[in-house]
Structure 1
Amino acid sequence: MATMAGRPRGGMTAERRFFTIMAGIILASTFIGFMPSYYLRGIAPPYFPFPPMTLLVHVHGLVFSAWVMLFMAQTTLVAAGRVDLHRRLGMFGMVLVALMIPLGIWVGLAGVGRPTSPPGIDPLSWAAMPLMDVPVFGGLIIAALINRRDPQMHKRLMLIAMIDMLQPSMGRMPFPSPMIGTFLPMLFLLPLFVWDWKTRGRIHPATLWGSLIVAAVMIVRPMIWTTQPWMDFVRWASAVAI
């Protein structure tokens, strides 16, 4: 969702094309991951048994889906040179972010009793996905909004936040192990590093530090999510929240 003025002469610039393609990949990955459990529930063959839907899950799905589509729309608007519409929609994005953060945590805690975790992963452990990632992608998005007058930082922080949000959808894909899906989003960070090196000759600070934060949480999470203190914490938090 970069803020850049004017339509580039001769069509879309390589930079705008890169971020638009990445947004399209994120949109497609989100749809594929949640296709059998949400978007085409009852139509597409399920990857594994899913619990019944609740009103809270529906609201969560609508809000987060709206955010992913907004990200695609915002990136496309910038690529088309319609920065005026991009800025107007940005206000709607701020409202969505304010809803996403508490919704993500609430749904994560409510999921402990449904349960919604992939086969082989304890629901108490799987709760680490939202409880640890919501603060990460929420913080990255807020940082991107604060730095919206710095297009290069803004667009990178937004993209990294969206890549971090791919973990739940990829964790539900039919890989041999759900752990593959939870770590796979790190590969989506590589094109951004390559792009920075190719176009700038160095890695942008937002790319470096944002990616390090996302990768650190991905690595630390499975180290703690089966520990007794974590299990006790999730039991307590879910009892308070529900």
Structure 2
Amino acid sequence: MIQQALPARGSRFFAISAMAIAALVVLSFPLTYFLPLLTGRTSFALLAHLHGLTFFAWTGLYVVQTQLVRRGNIRLHRELGIAGVALAGAMVPLALWMAVTAAAAREANGIARPFEFSLYNVIDISMFAVAFGWAVYEAQRRIEWHRRLMFVALLNLFGPAFARWMLKLPLPFPWVDMSPNLIADAFLLVLAWHDRKWLGRVHPVTLGAALILIPFHAVEPLIARSAAWNAIAPTLLGFW
């Protein structure tokens, strides 16, 4: 009985935050995807649809998974975890493929520094893959590590999605570029508060993610615009 109750301890935070983040993700795409799709103003490639479908599906599954844990249905939660692994396995190559396609389109349109935004694509999906893979490894070992690593994986999807709104604001560089991910990182501060409340300390995953992601996201725009990155990015993405 104790072992069945432990996974649900403190799960209300993850269930509620999952719904809030998922709602913000969905609300980030009306102008750039949903409305153009419904009105027919923009024709999207099959790659874009597959990319969107898998990322929305994984986010929706994360919401379902946190609700299952909150209700104590750990068995179904574990069974559905297989679908999460399958989706993640498709998301990583689709995201990299999308990054290469977007960079090629910017280069063809003569945009200065066509590989600048490729850094965000590569880092975000890489951090997602690391956090998700580690979370899967911890699923049967340390449940509190698993929860927080999955939460970090979600945040690495939320930042790029929310950028659709932030990039429309009249903010100067580098604030406009760093703000989406820093807003996502703010959820780590809320998670730290949750940790102190439920665990009496900030969990190592929460602390480690904050110490790594927040400083990096603050300097990421400078790296993305640097001559060094724009020199190595074409080779890294297979253009040369």
Whether these two folds match at TM > 0.5 is: yes
Aligned-pair Cα RMSD in Å: 2.7
Say which SS state the counterpart of residue 44 (structure 2) adopts: coil
User: Matched residues, percent identical?
Assistant: 30
1:43 deviates by 5.2
**Corresponding residue number in structure 2 for 1:175:** 169
8 A contact 2:149–2:205 mirrored in 1? yes
Alpha-carbon contact 2:125-2:156 (below 8 Å) kept: no
How much has 1:42 moved relative to structure 2? 4.5
Residues 154-182 of structure 1: CA distance to partner in whole angstroms, max 9, x if unpaired?
10111111112111111110333332223
TM-score (norm 2): 0.84
Q: What displacement does 1:123 show?
A: 3.9
- Structure 2: gaps spanning 5 or more residues: none
The residue aligned with 2:16 is 21
Q: 1:216 Cα deviation (Å)? A: 3.6
**Which deviates further from its counterpart, 224-233 or 84-93?**
224-233
Give the counterpart of 1:98 among 86, 89, 92.
Answer: 89
- In the superposition, relative to structure 1, how do residues 32 and 185 fare at CA in structure 2: closer, same or farther (>3 Å)? same
Task: Note if 1:61 corresponds to 2:56.
Answer: no
Match of 2:138 in 1: 147
Evaluate the alpha carbon distance shift between residue 68 and residue 224 of structure 1 in structure 2; reply closer, same or farther with a 3 A threshold: same
Bigger mean CA deviation after superposition, 180-189 or 62-71: 180-189
Q: Spell out structure 1 runs of 4+ moving beyond 6 A.
A: none
For 2:20, what is the secondary structure of its paired residue? helix
Runs of at least 5 residues in structure 1 that lack an aligned partner in the other structure: 45-49
Deviation at 1:217, TM superposition (A): 3.2
Q: Is the 1:160–1:211 contact (alpha carbons within 8 Å) kept by the matching residues of 2?
A: no
Q: How many residues align?
A: 226
Pairwise CA distance, 1:24: 0.5
Give the secondary structure class of the aligned counterpart of 1:165. helix
Higher relative contact order (CA 8 A, sep 6+): 1
Counterpart of 1:47 in structure 2 is none
Matched AA of 1:175: L
